[in-house]
Amino acid sequence: MKSFLACVSVIALVLSGAHALAQQKATAQNVSEISYTSAPNFLKIPAGETLGEAVGVATNSKGHIFVYHRSANTRLWEFDKNGVFVKEIGKGYYGFEFAHSVRVDAQDNIWTVDEGTNTVTKFSPEGKFLMVLGRRPPAVDGAVSTTTGPNPPAQKYIFCRPTDVGWDPQGNIFVSDGYCNNRVVKYDKNGRFLTQAGSEKAGNGPGEFNLPHGLQVDGQGNVWVADRSNNRYQVLDNNLKPKTMYTNLGVGWTVCVSPGPHQYVFASNSNPNGNAPGTWDNTGEIYKLELDGTILGKFGHASKEFGGFQVVHMMDCRNPNEIVVGEIESWRVQKLILQPTPAKTSSAR
Amino acid sequence: MRRFLPLLLAATLLAGFQTTAQNAVPEIAFDSIANPLTLPDDIYLGEVGGVAANSKGEVFVYTRTGHPTVSLGSSRAFAHGGSRLFQFDRSGKFMREIGQDSYGLMFAQQVRIDPQDNIWIVDQMSGYVMKLDPTGHVLMLLGRKPESISVPAPAPRGAGGGGGRGGALPGAGNASDVFNRPTDIAWDAAGNIFVADGIGNSRVAKFNSKGVFIKSWGSTGTGPGLFGSVLAIAVDAQGNVYAADGGNKRIQVFDNNGTFKTQYANVGTPAALCITPGPNQFLYSSNSNPPEDLDVAGEIYKMKLDGTLVGKFGKAGKLPKEFGTVNSIDCRSENNLLVGEVGNMRVQKLTLH
């Protein structure tokens, strides 16, 4: 029995590794480089504290930075615009177990997505609990093994390792869900289910997903989904009907849409550990796009050194020339100052 | 209007499908304060298992929060933590935490305050019913926490870590003084203790005021005196016992010794019960929505003790005056209720008109 278990574990490891080995070089050609610098000593971590896997980063209207990270416990920290620590939010909160995303809405409310507790939580700008979507699996059911085999049917109000959250201008809520569902769900601003695209099953057709890993909504209400294991980004309309997909940007790891009258999209071809030699030469970069998909340029590269990226897990692009990135495998948050791009200088696709 | 009529008809039919009671029951107008409790910045309510007020109007909330944990590097898998008990003053201001790091606080299920202001908590996972004095010190324990849990969890429905020590099959109605996912507690005028036991072990257990086990009744089934699950319990001034048989969508009424008297099967799935004090008692029962669905049920019924429906109020949702899986009702004051919600992680203070 013991050897059987070990055997199963090895197979599981190989399977999960196989996913990472499929690391994609982007097929977009002749993309110009956007020059950038990374601000040194940007975040001042309080003495005695350690940042863990920096999976979630977001800024509010005052430029405060929220970092949702995996340390001994999953924690949410607030820093001011100069990177000085302000406070911890959600200490001991029931919906924090394994961080995945933090986003700040137009009213400066702070939203966390936790793929350990299967919850999406809305906190006030001050950090008070306002609303929760989803439900933490009850502890009384005992220790739960990592799921294998077919996913159980997706439920309207229950998530399975959700990954990200976004809002349209009306305040409707969109959730990418996730690792063991393969769907995008739309709720009204009060958390009432409206519709979904995809299902518990993975698929590669339009409107189907294979690990929707990140999501943001543009000013027209279109939903940009990082469809990670399909190596693409999908754009859905506000009712979640598929509109467009982009398959030339490598792995669809995470996406950010800047606010304002002229919006830009940032998309990361992140490169996890577990790849063969050579992949670092042509992965890890971030693309800057117009909403119509025109590529304006790219920046960055895979590197464990400061200024490079070791798996960008989330980007904040409130200011499209000042990108805050959180890296999962380097336990790092960087602020990148980009050289502004002239409008549509490149027509590369 | 003609287009509207079929819709209305369909809605009526749908409502009737959920519970047979809804058609004729008047709506009770009410208001809600959806955030009556003031918490320190570093304390958050999780799923509210129980809420109750004492004679001074102080409010106790037993909540699933923090990090339920299973230990590694030990001879067996030990489970710890996951729930906290908070006390607030009558204005809702946070006073203190009770039972921090207690062995028994794991999966908050219910809190009730007895006539002497003792605090009773029921934990669904540790299987304890704990009597604390008004200052929070342990006076008496019923049940015992299983020493360790099985990893991974075995069969569902109660066997996975929440079970009592007895080892009887879930739903066997095992006549024992340990519990399997207990849910609620009530007392009669003589101080006898009635435990709803519960989700694992479909029965009601009776103890005397000193904690001596007297008897129990019920096991899994659908007939009179049998239960699908016992989700809540209340006792009236005459000593009659009202058991929320959630699994069978009915409230069963027993005399003080467990003899079946009657049942009320017109209030959906009762998941929280409360009986008002005083000479003219009323029963509140919540047809709580399941945690995975916010588009069904959710209303609370007010009834006379004989089962006559007085009215209903609320529905499932996340807004104020809506309910997300109500698990607890305090009705110390007939028209001023405290309602604890699992799904919305909050307590609402309701005023009925």
Pairing of strands B315-316, B322-323: parallel
pLDDT band, residue B21 (cuts 50/70/90): very low
Contacts for A19 with CB less than 8 Å, ≥ 6 apart: A229
Q: Give contacts of A93 with chain B, Cβ < 8 Å.
A: 44, 46, 65
Q: Is the pLDDT of residue B198 over 90?
A: yes
Backbone angles phi, psi at B327, to 5 degrees: -115, -5
Quick check: bond before B152 cis, omega within 30? yes
pLDDT at A95: 98
Contacts for A103 with CB less than 8 Å, ≥ 6 apart: A56, A58, A110, A111, A113, A164, A165, A166
pLDDT at A294: 97
Query: Residue A227 and residue B343: Cα distance in Å, rounded?
Result: 30
Query: Residue B100 and residue B41: Cα distance in Å, rounded?
Result: 18
Helix (H) or strand (E) holding B10: helix B4-18
Q: What is the mean pLDDT of residues B247-266?
A: 98
Contacts for A343 with CB less than 8 Å, ≥ 6 apart: A262
Q: Give contacts of B48 with chain A, Cβ < 8 Å.
A: none
Are B282 and B303 in contact by the 8 Å Cβ rule? The answer is yes
Contacts for B149 with CB less than 8 Å, ≥ 6 apart: A142, A143, B70, B77, B78, B79, B160, B161
Are B59 and B335 in contact by the 8 Å Cβ rule? The answer is no
Are B104 and B174 in contact by the 8 Å Cβ rule? The answer is no
- Please tell me the number of Cα atoms within 13 Å of A50 on its side-chain side: 8
Query: Residue B164 and residue B144: Cα distance in Å, rounded?
Result: 7
- B277 CA: distance to closest CA in chain A (Å): 33
Pairing of strands B203-207, B213-217: antiparallel
Closest by Cα among A104, A48, A103, A94 to A74: A94
The string of DSSP codes covering A27-80 is: ---SPPBPPEEEPTT-SBPPTT----EEEEEEE-TT--EEEEEESSSEEEEEE-
pLDDT at B169: 78
Q: What is the pLDDT of residues A47-88, one digit of tens each?
A: 999 999 999 999 999 999 999 999 999 999 999 999 999 999
Helix (H) or strand (E) holding B14: helix B4-18
Q: What is the pLDDT of residues B213-225, one digit of tens each?
A: 999 999 999 999 9
Q: What is the mean pLDDT of residues B66-83?
A: 94
Quick check: bond before B16 cis, omega within 30? no
Residue indicated by tokens 């998909």? A293
Q: What is the pTM of this model?
A: 0.90
Nearest chain A Cα to B81, which residue? A139
Secondary structure (3-state) at A137: coil
Low-confidence ranges of chain A (pLDDT < 50): 1-21, 346-347, 349
Residue type, B217: W
Pairing of strands B119-123, B83-88: unpaired
- Of the candidates A94, A144, A155, the beta carbon closest to that of B65 is on A94
A139:B106 CB<8 A: yes
| More confident call, B3 vs B201 | B201
pLDDT band, residue B73 (cuts 50/70/90): very high
Closest by Cα among A276, A273, A97, A215 to B64: A97
Q: How many residues does chain B have?
A: 353
Closest by Cα among A209, A205, A220, A201 to A184: A209
Nearest chain A Cα to B40, which residue? A128
The pair of structure tokens assigned to A244 is 């467009």
Pairing of strands B203-207, B79-80: unpaired
User: Helices in chain A by DSSP H: which ranges?
Assistant: 2-21
Query: Residue B287 and residue A247: Cα distance in Å, rounded?
Result: 49
pLDDT at A343: 62
Are B184 and B231 in contact by the 8 Å Cβ rule? The answer is yes
- A222 CA: distance to closest CA in chain B (Å): 26
Q: Give contacts of A94 with chain B, Cβ < 8 Å.
A: 44, 46-47, 63-66, 345
- A193 CA: distance to closest CA in chain B (Å): 8
Query: Residue B148 and residue B146: Cα distance in Å, rounded?
Result: 6
Q: What is the pLDDT of residues A244-281, one digit of tens each?
A: 999 999 999 999 999 999 999 999 999 888 888 888 88
Secondary structure (3-state) at B323: strand
Are B20 and B100 in contact by the 8 Å Cβ rule? The answer is no
Q: Is the pLDDT of residue B158 over 80?
A: no
Interface test with B, best of A5, A9, A94 (most B CBs within 10 A): A94
A156, burial (CB in 10 Å: exposed 0-12, middle 13-18, buried 19+): middle
